[in-house]
Structure formats: structure tokens, C-alpha cells
Amino acid sequence: MWDVNELWMQFEIMILNKGESILITFPKQFLIGESCLIIMGELAAEQHAKYILTIEKKKDDVESVLMEHLRINGAYWGLTTLDILGKLSAVDQETVISWVMSCQHESGGFGGNEGHDPHVLYTLSAIQILALFNKIEVLDIEKVSSYVATLQNEDGSFSGDKWGEIDTRFSYVALCSLALLKKLYKINVEKAVRYIVSCKNLDGGFGCTPGAESHAGQIFCCIGALAITGCLHHVDKDLLGWWLCERQVKSGGLNGRPEKLPDVCYSWWVLSSLIMIDRVHWIDKEKLVKFILDCQDKENGGISDRPDDAVDVFHTYFGVAGLSLLEYPGLKAIDPAYALPVDVINRIFLN
Ligand SMILES: [Zn+2]
């Protein structure tokens, strides 16, 4: 199910500054845990920032055209990566914000690009991008939150858009959007939580609908939604923690389901879930750091799903975000539930 979202990965971001030279250096020695000092392969941070900042130059290639409808998701991945790397200021924020606002539909929701149909997935990306720039106030918050609230169904579930497909991904995205806008009261949170809990399986994991098999991407969505609503007590943390830590394979990478290949994007989904349920010490962090670093294109920047595959912005984001969760030095901390830098979340909720 979630593999469909691998389609999200390959496309470009428009409107990023051109060619600015970026210099970030990281120490070669990297401390993990309390006492063990290890020489790690370095994160090619400078190259990754350059990779993201120059992606727009490729916007006429076939891949980019195919992925045009996902551009706002790509912008969120790229911009969040830059922020974690400490390079968000290299972007022309006025241009980005006016483009984001041009993707808004009259219903209040956002499309993946200008003139595209609105969907809750794109709406969250729009909110997250504005949050990165501390510009949520440019939104008509009533209108956007009402759009999201109308997607809730009688059983508490959420549809992604007016066509009605239901998935726990959309529950997470809706709850995260409304929480960031401080408008959770516009929906029935209790029913939303009850629906998510109804998707819990005997193995401790969660699926996209009741009875659907457990999958790491879906687990992130359900755990994130329960974390945002303060309902993690519904989770059997040991049982789920065990299922999640079994996702680590020999190479150190994580897979999304039993018998599948490891993939950098699960560094985010599995790791953030383990952090939210306080079981992250159950995996081998050093090996996972090494796996992510092995997936870098150190010369041209970018991170791929597995070593030696082609890089894309989706896996670059999840690789860098995963390293941030692993407390890799020099990176901003990222919030495991909201998927935004911790300072951005603090600015929203502590102000
Ligand atoms: Zn992947």
C-alpha cells in the first residue's frame, strides 16, 4: 500500500535560489551513545544542500513533468532538509510563499501545484512550508481548517479529498494540519482516535484501514496521530517496539515490512515511531547511521533508497531527517510527530 508513495519521490522543487555556494563542515569524529567514539563516514552536507538548491534546473526533464502534481510535497521535503542542514536562508522565502499560496483552491485546500485539485496531503505540506518560514499567519486559517474538517467521516476516519479514499495516512495528515493551525476542536478528535485504534493489529502495528496488514509507514501515521492527540496510551509499546526493531536488517538499514529490502525512507518512519514510544534504544543506531551514509552520492549530493541507487529529494529528506533523529552532529533536531524542526514546533506551540 505505502509503496505507492515511492512514486512521490522523484521530482524537482521549483523556486529555489540558484547556485549559491554553501559551506558546511562537520567533525570527522562522531560520538554515539555515552562512551564510544567512532570514526564515521561523513555526511556530505554541503553537497546535499547544493543538490536541493539546484534541483529546479532539471525541471523540464521527464521525471519532473511526471511528478509535477506532487511539487508542493517536494518543496516541503527539500526545504525541511535545508532547514535541518541550517541552510534555509539560501532560499528566497517570498517567492516560495507566493507560489505556495498560488496552489490554494477556493475550497481552502491546497493542490500539489498551481491549478491542481486540492488534497489533504498537499494541504499539510503547504502548512508545513509556511511554518518553516514562520508565516502560517498568511493563511486564512478558518478556511483551511474548515476544508480539513469537512474530510472527516461519520466513523471518525478521514478521506484524502472529495473523492473519498480512506486511509490512516489521511487521519494523521488531517490531525497534524489542524494541530499546527490550533484548530483540532473543529473535528471529533475522540472518534478520530477511535478509528485509528480500530486499525491496530495483533502484532502491535497498524494498517491503512481496519484489518489491513501492519506497515511501518502506516505505523508512523497512526503513532504520530496518537502522539499529537495525547493518546499514546492506546499503544502496546513493547509489542510494537519489538515489531519495529525487527525491521533492522544485517546492513543496518530498516525495512517497512518483514522480508522486504531496507530503504532509507524507513529510517524516518520506523525511527520516529520508536522515539515516540520510547523504544529507540532497541535498534543499533551506529549501523543505521552507516547505512544512511552509505546511500549518499558524496560527489553530486543527494541520498538514495539503498547504496548505489539513484538519489532523489524524497530519500534525501528522509535520510537527513533520520540522521537528525539519530542526533548526528551539526543537524537541527526534528520533531518525530510533526516532521518539522523542533525549533519550528516550539515557536508554534510555546509562543
Ligand atoms: Zn523509500
* Residue at 203: amino acid letter: D
Cα 63 → chain centroid:
21
- Dig out the grid coordinates for 125 from the structure: 505540506
Q: How many Å lie between the centroid of ligand 1 and the Cα of residue 261? A: 10
Amino acid at 339: A
Query: CB of 223 within 8 A of CB of 193?
Result: no
- Angstrom distances, CA of residue 100 to CA of 53, 82, 125: 17, 17, 9
Non-local (6+) Cβ contacts of 96 within 8 A are 15, 16, 75, 79, 129, 133
Kindly give the distance from the C-alpha atom of residue 72 to the centroid of ligand 1, in angstroms, as a whole number: 18
Element (H, E) at 102: helix 93-102
Q: How far apart are CA 81 and CA 87, in angstroms?
A: 8
Distance 166 CA to ligand 1 centre (A): 22
And the C-alpha cell for 265? 525512507
pTM greater than the 0.85 cutoff: yes
Q: Do residues 195 and 226 make contact, with C-beta atoms less than 8 angstroms apart?
A: no
Give yes or no for a contact between 156 and 168, defined as CB atoms under 8 angstroms apart: no
Grid cell of 194 as nine digits: 477511535
Q: Could you tell me which of 111, 66, 48, 132 has the C-alpha nearest to residue 315?
A: 48
> What are the Cα distances from residue 208, in Å, to 2, 111, 160, 213?
9, 23, 12, 8
Q: What is the pLDDT along the chain (351 residues), one digit of tens a residue?
A: 333 334 333 222 222 232 332 222 223 333 333 333 333 469 999 999 999 988 765 655 555 555 676 789 999 999 999 999 999 999 999 999 999 999 999 999 999 999 899 999 999 999 999 999 999 999 999 999 999 999 999 999 999 998 889 999 999 999 999 999 999 999 999 999 999 999 999 999 999 999 999 999 999 999 999 999 999 999 999 999 999 999 999 999 999 888 899 999 998 999 999 999 999 999 999 999 999 999 999 999 999 999 999 999 999 999 999 999 999 999 999 999 999 999 999 999 997
Coil, strand, or helix at residue 231?
A: coil
> CA-CA distance, 159 to 121, in Å (whole number)?
10
Is residue 49 within 8 A of residue 87, CB to CB? The reply is yes
Q: Determine the distance separating the centroid of ligand 1 and the alpha carbon of 221, expressed in angstroms.
A: 16
Q: What is the 43 CA–ligand 1 centroid distance (Å)? A: 19
Going from the Cα of 265 to the center of ligand 1, the distance in angstroms, rounded, reads 4
Rg (CA), the chain: 19
For 244-289, give the secondary structure using H, E and C.
HHCCECCCCCECCCCCCCCCCHHHHHHHHHHHHCCCHHHCCHHHHH
Listed residues: CB within 5 A of ion ligand 1? 263, 265, 305
